[in-house]
Structure 1
Amino acid sequence: MNYHSRTTSLVIISLLIWSCSKKQATVQESVPKPPPVSDSVEVKKTPQILGIDVSHFQGDVNWPKVKDAKITFVYDKASEGKSFKDPDYAQNKIGAHENGLAHGSYHFFTSDADAIEQANLFISIIDYGPGDMPPVLDLEQGGIKGEINPTTFQSEVLTWLNHVESKLGVKPIIYTNHVFGDRYLTHANFSNYHLWIAEYGVEQPTIPKTWSDIGWLIWQRSERGTIEGAIGQVDHDLYNPTKPFEVIKK
């Protein structure tokens, strides 16, 4: 092969290499690049809505310190059965509202008393209004007095719920645990009410079958918590962050 032939061949090879490199660069440039990761990007988490529930058993409560402990709401025992009125209910409600806490009221239901009488006692105490959360009916083993017929018991509980809703214009919440719920709260109509579930020392609570498709609104996670300097032994509660926080505005 002579000089001119070799020169011509080298030119042709160079052009081919340049052409291939150009195509490869074009393909690489056409692939979209991921956005740069910034250390300043903040992953926002839904803040916890924490609460406590109290009664006269806690004694005097330092409500400013409860507020400082990042508590948002408090449920306060108003009544039990057909005659018991919690002696600290009124002062706890005032203290909660004066410190900007949402306040709710609950009734401890007993199986040995008429449902309407129990409902009327509760309604006469609570003075439901702005800053208050929906009322709660506390249903647990301690409220079972003697032998009961589960069907009759469920009918009485529904009577209480319907009566309170008709008088206050708001649907109550049911407080219970999964063992009691699966034994005594099997009527389908209970699923029309939000669930406040009690279960401690677990990552997620066990839901009674009646609420299996609905889940919980409030979870009582601990019965042995304390708020330093404010209160003694107290139940600690978590409001479900996926559900709207219900408080009467006006």
Structure 2
Amino acid sequence: MRTALWTTAAGVAGLAVLAALVATGIVWPNRIPAAAYDVRGVDVSHYQGEIDWDVLAAQDLDFAWIKATEGASHTDPRFAESWAAATRTDLLVGAYHFMSFESPGADQAAHLASEVPATPGTLPPVIDLEFYGPYFDDPPAPDEVRAILDPLVAGIEEHYGVPPVVYATEEAYDLYLAGRYPDLPVWIRSVAWTPGLSDGRDWTVWQYSNRDRLPGYDGVEPYIDLNVFAGTREELAALTLP
């Protein structure tokens, strides 16, 4: 009986240690499958604070997407600074827009265009489609979302000359994107397991971790998101603005 109790206690303690290692990013389940992809990158916002882009770019990275805008009026306070510095490095750099469910898609596209230059050689803008605030518990209907998303996609493609990438959680993908928008590259968030899209589609970018730490930034958010691209760096560069 005593041996069984000690075994149980040791098992519980081991699980607690493992949970703590995962929670702090020391151990992360997706690092092994993600290591099969050679092209890696980050996505950042003002939460990473001031970024030393030369230091960050030296961390075996190939690309970075920087938060630029949200909805029809908000601009990330560090976007302009990060954009200017990041585009001076060897990274392939792009901007992302956090899509709001509360403003027209055409207005959001116009706001993005006013803040992000259509610079040849930069990565396509990204539409970040995920739940937030009250929409976690009460997601908007697919028709409501597509009524915003369709003009947002059209406005971006018209202004930048390339289709946007669409970033989504697996839940948002299944609800709003599965079986639709075949011309848009998909950036899927799946931080607990290797992603497999429900409609059999191939993903283009995979956000595999939201609990990594790299030298080069000092913000209120201690962690940074890591991603991989399903192809070569040359293939990623082929997606850039003409």
The reply to whether TM is greater than 0.5 is yes
Query: Is the CA contact (8 Å cut-off) linking 1:134 and 1:170 kept in structure 2?
Result: yes
Query: Is the CA contact (8 Å cut-off) linking 2:157 and 2:164 kept in structure 1?
Result: yes
Deviation string 1:151-178 (CA, Å, 9 cap, x unpaired) is 1211320111011101211110110022
- Greater relative contact order, per chain length (Cα 8 Å cut-off, separation 6+): 2
The 10-residue stretch of structure 1 (96-105 or 224-233) with the greater mean CA deviation from structure 2: 224-233
Residue 99 (structure 1) aligned to one of 81, 89, 94: 89
Cα RMSD after superposing both structures: 2.3
1:175 is aligned to 2:167? yes
For residue 88 of structure 2, what is the amino acid of its counterpart? E
For residue 226 of structure 1, what is the amino acid of its counterpart? R
1:43-58 alignment, distance < 5 Å? 48-58=38-48
1:191 is aligned to 2:182? yes
User: What's 2:122 paired with?
Assistant: 132
1:156 is aligned to 2:148? yes
For residue 109 of structure 2, what is the amino acid of its counterpart? A
Residue 237 of structure 1 deviates from its aligned partner by 0.6
Query: Is the CA contact (8 Å cut-off) linking 2:72 and 2:107 kept in structure 1?
Result: yes
Query: Is the CA contact (8 Å cut-off) linking 1:64 and 1:99 kept in structure 2?
Result: yes
Structure 2, unmatched stretches of 5+, are 1-34
User: What's 2:78 paired with?
Assistant: 88
Residue 130 of structure 1 deviates from its aligned partner by 2.8
**Larger-Rg structure:** 1
CA distance in 2, matches of 1:144, 1:163: 27
Deviation string 1:38-75 (CA, Å, 9 cap, x unpaired) is xxxxxxx9871110000111100111111221111100
Runs of 4+ residues over 2 Å off in structure 1 = 143-149, 228-232, 246-250
TM-score in terms of structure 2 length: 0.76
CA distance in 1, matches of 2:210, 2:139: 28
1:207 is aligned to 2:194? no
CA distance in 1, matches of 2:149, 2:160: 17
CA distance in 2, matches of 1:48, 1:143: 35
Structure 2 vs 1, CA of residues 194 and 229 (structure 1 numbering), >3 Å: closer, same or farther? closer
**Percent of pairs with identical residues:** 27
Partner SS for 2:51: coil
